[in-house]
Amino acid sequence: MCRFTLYLGPPIRLSALVVEPKHSIIQQSFHSTGQDEPVNGDGFGIAWYVPELSPEPALFRSVTPAWNSSNLSELARVVQSHLILAHVRAATKHGGQSEANCHPFRSGPFAFMHNGDIGDFARLRRPLLTSLGDPAFDSIAGNTDSEHLFALVLDELQRTPGSGVEHLAAALQQAVARVTLLGKLHGNGAPSYLNLALTDGHSAVACRFTTEDDYDGESLFVHTGRVYVCSNGVCRMLAPERGRGCVLISSEPLSDDPGWDALPRNSMVLVTPEGTTSSRPLLV
Amino acid sequence: MCRFTLYLGPPIRLSALVVEPKHSIIQQSFHSTGQDEPVNGDGFGIAWYVPELSPEPALFRSVTPAWNSSNLSELARVVQSHLILAHVRAATKHGGQSEANCHPFRSGPFAFMHNGDIGDFARLRRPLLTSLGDPAFDSIAGNTDSEHLFALVLDELQRTPGSGVEHLAAALQQAVARVTLLGKLHGNGAPSYLNLALTDGHSAVACRFTTEDDYDGESLFVHTGRVYVCSNGVCRMLAPERGRGCVLISSEPLSDDPGWDALPRNSMVLVTPEGTTSSRPLLV
Amino acid sequence: MCRFTLYLGPPIRLSALVVEPKHSIIQQSFHSTGQDEPVNGDGFGIAWYVPELSPEPALFRSVTPAWNSSNLSELARVVQSHLILAHVRAATKHGGQSEANCHPFRSGPFAFMHNGDIGDFARLRRPLLTSLGDPAFDSIAGNTDSEHLFALVLDELQRTPGSGVEHLAAALQQAVARVTLLGKLHGNGAPSYLNLALTDGHSAVACRFTTEDDYDGESLFVHTGRVYVCSNGVCRMLAPERGRGCVLISSEPLSDDPGWDALPRNSMVLVTPEGTTSSRPLLV
Amino acid sequence: MCRFTLYLGPPIRLSALVVEPKHSIIQQSFHSTGQDEPVNGDGFGIAWYVPELSPEPALFRSVTPAWNSSNLSELARVVQSHLILAHVRAATKHGGQSEANCHPFRSGPFAFMHNGDIGDFARLRRPLLTSLGDPAFDSIAGNTDSEHLFALVLDELQRTPGSGVEHLAAALQQAVARVTLLGKLHGNGAPSYLNLALTDGHSAVACRFTTEDDYDGESLFVHTGRVYVCSNGVCRMLAPERGRGCVLISSEPLSDDPGWDALPRNSMVLVTPEGTTSSRPLLV
């Protein structure tokens, strides 16, 4: 599948997500745990917000394996941001990698990433496209199930006026519901695995979801605290205090410190701009 | 725009199209003539048929500029085929190059390439997709106008039973007609430039077409003879004889020898497996 | 050859060098002026300093043509620095492009780039390598003449204790003298073209130099002022004032505003951390 | 480390080495066995001889992981040769991958590949280079230990007149001896792992060698027979007969059929143009 990490909190250096932790995203590109296949070598991507310059996140994507990218190592040294998304890809189909198929995906201020896949996507693709409004339809540049899922999210964001974390949560919930319905109508019974992360540059939401019975789906962990610090190759979350905190949402724990909580099956977590989290079931 | 060359005839080394001629495809990637922009540096592709091993052509595509590809130089030395397509790309939109967006495109035994663009493609894309049968719809992996055009061609090939050069010609003609109609129905008046080449591994057809008035469209040349030979950096077509011949169809003449005939505006040329050519108007 | 730009002054957005000017580095990758070959499509590189995080500049290099790099466009939007180097490459030899062969080159706090070539480099390479101390020898990862030139610069920087702009200037001068001498001893008479830029993150030096008689060498321009601003696609240098200024050193003027002064043949320009410039002959 | 396979015998389709076997080279890029690290995702390369067109082998190399290369899959379908080398790379140092650093390496008719590494290479590199004649010195384009090893081989081939399998064997033996001696003189005690394959387009030699005590070195297997056939995804060597045979030399067995013999520690195998093998100790 894939692996992703989202950070929201006080500005942090990209290296604290991508390089320094024992199970950093670069490590996960090579040696992920809890997957049948430990390699996520089919490209990677990073999105980070620089609010003083632009509401749109900066995007850096490459078909190179993350462990091999000098440019990623360089950016990790000098990029700092309060809101970062990082993704390493294990392509469902091999061959034909392109930057357009790498996560995160972006549209305006929104950034999105996915770990998992849509069951029977080849059967669902055409009715899914038909269901989209023109702006969401036009946003698709590649041919991954993940980008089509993001188009559903954008479609929901555009249909319903609003903003803030509840607006994001509603769009994510509806996108998952639409995929599930499309699967029932047009699919052949293959389950979907939809671990998703979505942000507008201020708030963020993420979910762990599967339509497979008797399986909890791909793993997803949440870790909250005051600040995430790395020193001499050991990273840990400092205990929370009152006021502004930080949140890490990650396919697997980046570090061995306690406090990484597995998100339950078919639930979502909402993160406010202040770094406050709450979770709820994701029912479709 | 782009530049392309198609060869059909006795087996020829790829280098005789790609490297050796004064205006070889590699030269055209850097120094094409008769274009506003002389650079076609946004990737390239080669398709060649090896009928004793497979009815599907082999495909080699890269986002590297052709002039920079060691792998292309190597293949040019050792690939021999009776039917070769070569294309260098100048992307209409910059950014996001991918192998999936490089020509030639292939589906089963068919290979296709395009020089030009569909006017108002962003407006036409959705109704074009809606008009396709499922197999043609599913064939699209990238987001270029050219690949959508190939999907129209495939749609026509599948709708009408048949085979041979007239089957190819009818499909090409119909695909051009459908684009033209879509432009009238949904476009904003921007003209289309549709220089196309299509083959099934035996016969080939190509057209020079534009919907712009008072302009002949992108150039396209046809050169026929017995065999195309290169010696000491000078390439030329040997005069035709009775029996099996060879044909070059190229955006610009590869060499300075006489006999490169410009295809007239809005016409097509048909090439039989024996290398016999005939041309006719392409009316839509 | 190649094209490069160096900026030193108040923090500026990378887009003001790479994207927005009429003759930006991306434009120069496609449409450079004053060269026999207008295309510099064999890769590019950017180095920028983030002194609050590291004395080593960040480096982003790619074999993609600059005009085609989505990642470069993204970085241009969000990178800000007081000291930026940008380079687009036209490889002397085609084939085998690699990131290691792209400029700028970096070692510790030093960054370096080159426009031109060393005459008879194949003959000079071995004695050049023999003349290097081990650290400079070990710094070489690729096989370009430019990186070997940087090794000479590093060798000089390490041989002579010191720091500051005069230390840089002496090293550049000596490196040029060593290449010239190597050419006399081992070359076959082919002239060298050595337009170079070097910085330590605080000061910078650049030179325009050739061993060819009756030719001024590749062009190099210097532009000084208070601040370089871009608005609605028009960029210009605001007139200097007392106090801290900014400097642009560029293979060709980025914009049409007055004040771009050609550096004379065989001379160098020194830039202090305050943005004050002075020039002097470069005699070898 | 890396993984490689060499085939010599009746013309075989590349897919029979690269795609079809259960443990094909593409499988070994993802899931090699008998290594601490199962991934060889840092590029790949193929060399194959087309004697009717050129004495120099064709070379196709890419920094893409082999499992991701559409171009490799395509070539596997249509390339046939009597002598093929295939290599998947696990870089000793991450970052800065380039085609020039991918195996096989080639010079004139010779092709070479390596699995392992030279101990203390950074210390040995300079005296190694000093020891080379100019042609071997000039052959080096990248910065891998493997390419430097090939330069030693070329140096030996040029020093001693001769040809044929014994000429290859002597050069390989001498190159290994020179590396071992350089290690004793300039190294720090780190062992070398030198599994090598070398061919001139007619004969081939390969060795399994290490300077580490109490360890047999990286694995290397030899399989001989009449012809290697793949059918319905099962590949096997047909039993030898009198007359011309075929040989597979591979880091790990490609298929589960019997007859894959491990080459003993510190020995070499010689293969004649007729496919006859013999082995002998490699003593230095």
The CA dihedral of B161, B164, B166, B169, to the nearest 10 degrees, is: 90
Contacting chains of C (3 CB pairs or more, <8 Å) are A, B, D
Confidence (pLDDT) at B97: 77
Q: Does C63 sit within 8 Å of B94, measured CB to CB? A: no
Which one of D97, D99, D140 has the shortest CB-CB distance to C96?
A: D99
CA dihedral D141→D147→D148→D152, nearest 10 degrees, is -110
* Residue C102 annotated to the active site: no
Q: For residue B34, what pLDDT is reported?
A: 65
Most distant pair of Cα atoms in chain D: their distance: 53
How crowded is residue C132: how many other Cβ atoms within 10 Å of its Cβ?
Answer: 20
CB neighbour list of residue D99: distance below 8 Å, 6 or more residues apart: B70, B71, C96, C98, D43, D61, D62, D63
User: Closest partner residue to B137 among A98, A126, A142, by Cβ?
Assistant: A126
Cβ contacts of D27 within 8 Å, gap of 6 or more: D21
CA neighbor of D122 nearest in space, from D182, D173, D49, D172: D182
Exposure b/e, C16-35, CB count within 10 A at least 16 = b: bbbbbbebbbbbbbbebeeb
- Over residues B105-164, the pLDDT tens digits come to 999 999 999 999 999 999 999 999 999 999 999 999 888 999 999 999 999 999 989 999
Average pLDDT value for chain D: 92
The alpha carbons of chain C give a radius of gyration, in whole angstroms, of 17
The single residue listed with the structure tokens 């970085």 is C75
Question: Chain centroid to CA B101: how far?
Answer: 14
Q: How many helices (H) and strands (E) does chain C have?
A: 7, 15
pLDDT bracket for residue D68 (50, 70, 90): confident
Out of C42, C68, C73, closest to residue B68 by CB: C42
DSSP state of C264: P
User: Average model confidence (pLDDT) for chain A?
Assistant: 92
Q: Closest residue of B to A130, CA-based?
A: B130
Percent of chain C's residues with pLDDT above 70: 95
pLDDT above 70 for D35: no
D256-266 pLDDT, tens digit each? 999 999 999 99
Q: Could you tell me if A133 lies within 8 Å of chain B, comparing CB atoms?
A: no
Determine the pLDDT at residue C35. Answer: 63
**Sign of torsion over alpha carbons B253, B256, B259, B265:** positive
Other beta carbons within 10 angstroms of residue D274's beta carbon come to 14
Whether the ω angle into residue C104 lies within 30 degrees of 0, i.e. cis, is yes
Of C56, C58, C70, the CB nearest to A99: C70
Distance CA D272, CA B158 (A): 52
pLDDT at D233 over 90: no
| Confidence at residue D97, expressed as pLDDT on a 0 to 100 scale | 77
CA distance D141 to C96: 9
Q: A255: which DSSP letter?
A: S
Token pair 């559409």: residue? D70
At C200-259, the pLDDT tens digits run 999 999 999 999 999 999 999 999 999 999 998 899 999 876 667 999 999 999 999 999
Return the number of other C-beta atoms located less than 10 Å from residue D170's C-beta: 16
Q: Can you read off the two tokens belonging to residue D270? A: 């010689």
pLDDT at position A136 over 60: yes
Reported pTM = 0.93
DSSP string covering chain B: -EEEEEEEEEEEETHHHHTSSTT-HHHHHHH-SSSSS----S-EEEEE--TTT-SSPEEEEESS-GGG-HHHHHHHHH-EEEEEEEEEE--SS-S---GGGSSPEEETTEEEEEEEE-TTHHHHHHHHHHTS-HHHHHT--S--HHHHHHHHHHHHHHHS---SHHHHHHHHHHHHHHHHHHHHHH--S---EEEEEEE-SS-EEEEE-B--TT---S--EEEEESEEEEETTEEEEEPP-SS--EEEEESS-SSSSS--EEPPTTEEEEE-TT--EEEEE---
User: Vertex B125, ends B123 and B127: CA angle to 5°?
Assistant: 90
Beta strands B105-107; B110-117: pairing state: antiparallel
Q: Does C142 touch chain D (CB under 8 A)?
A: yes
- Range 77-106 of D in CB contact (< 8 A) with A: 91, 94-97
Confidence check: pLDDT of D177 > 80:
yes
Interface mutation vs chain C, best among D139, D143, D145, D147, most C CBs within 10 Å: D143
Average pLDDT (B256-260) is 94
Question: Could you write out the three-class secondary structure of D16-44?
Answer: HHHCCCCCCHHHHHHHCCCCCCCCCCCCE
- Would you call B59 and D70 a contact, using CB atoms and an 8 Å cutoff? yes
- DSSP alpha helices (H): ranges in chain D? 15-18, 25-31, 70-78, 121-130, 134-138, 145-159, 165-186
| Cα–Cα distances in angstroms (integers) from residue A156 to residues A129, A169, A170, A266, in the given order | 14, 10, 8, 20
Q: Which of A173, A264, A174 is nearest to A221 (CA)?
A: A264
Distances (CA, A) of B129 to A249, B117, B202: 38, 17, 29
In this structure, what are the phi and psi dihedrals at residue C14, rounded to the nearest 5 degrees? -55, -35
Q: Are A257 and A41 in contact (CB under 8 A)?
A: no
Contact yes or no for D71 and B75 at CB 8 A? no
- Residue-wise pLDDT for D80-131, tens only, equals 999 999 999 887 655 567 888 899 999 999 999 999 999 999 999 999 999 9
Task: Name the residue type at position C232.
Answer: N
Q: What is the pLDDT of residues C123-134, one digit of tens each?
A: 999 999 999 999
Residues of B with Cβ-Cβ distance to C73 under 8 angstroms: 95
Residues of B within 8 A of C88 (CB-CB) are none
pLDDT at residue B35, as a whole number: 63
Torsion of Cα atoms, D85 then D90 then D94 then D97, to 10°: 20
Bridge partners of B231, per DSSP, are B234
Q: Mean pLDDT throughout C94-107? A: 83
ipTM of the complex: 0.91
CB burial readout A12-50, b (16+ within 10 A) else e: bbbbbbbbbbebbbbbbbbebeebeebbbbbbbbbbbbb
Burial class (CB in 10 A: 0-12, 13-18, 19+), A116: buried
Residue corresponding to tokens 């030395």:
B77
Between CA A124 and CA C20 the distance in angstroms is: 42
Taken in order B130, B133, B136, B139, is the CA torsion positive or negative? positive
CA distance A114 to chain C (A): 21
Question: What pLDDT score was predicted for residue A32?
Answer: 77
With cut-offs at 50, 70 and 90, classify the pLDDT of residue C93. low
Distance separating alpha carbons of residues D71 and B99, to the nearest angstrom: 10
Distance CA B85, CA B111 (A): 8
Residues of D designated as active site: 2
**pLDDT digit string, tens, across residues C228-237:** 999 988 999 9
A191, A1 Cβ separation under 8 angstroms: no
Using the 8-state DSSP alphabet, how is residue A239 labeled? Answer: P
Query: d(Cα A122, Cα A117) in Å, to the nearest integer?
Result: 11
Q: C2: closest CA among C222, C252, C259, C264?
A: C252
Which residues in chain B are closer than 8 Å to C95, comparing Cβ atoms? 68-70, 73
- Judged by a CB distance cut-off of 8 A, whether residue B142 touches chain A is yes
Q: What are the tens digits of pLDDT across the range B59-109?
A: 999 988 888 889 999 999 999 999 999 999 887 655 567 888 899 999 999
Q: Which residues of A are catalytic, by number? A: 2
Contacts for A268 with CB less than 8 Å, ≥ 6 apart:
A169, A172, A173, A205, A206, A207, A208, A209, A279, A280, A281, A282
- CA gap C18, B65 in Å, rounded: 21
Distance from CA of B73 to the nearest CA of D (A): 9
Mean pLDDT of C40-66: 92
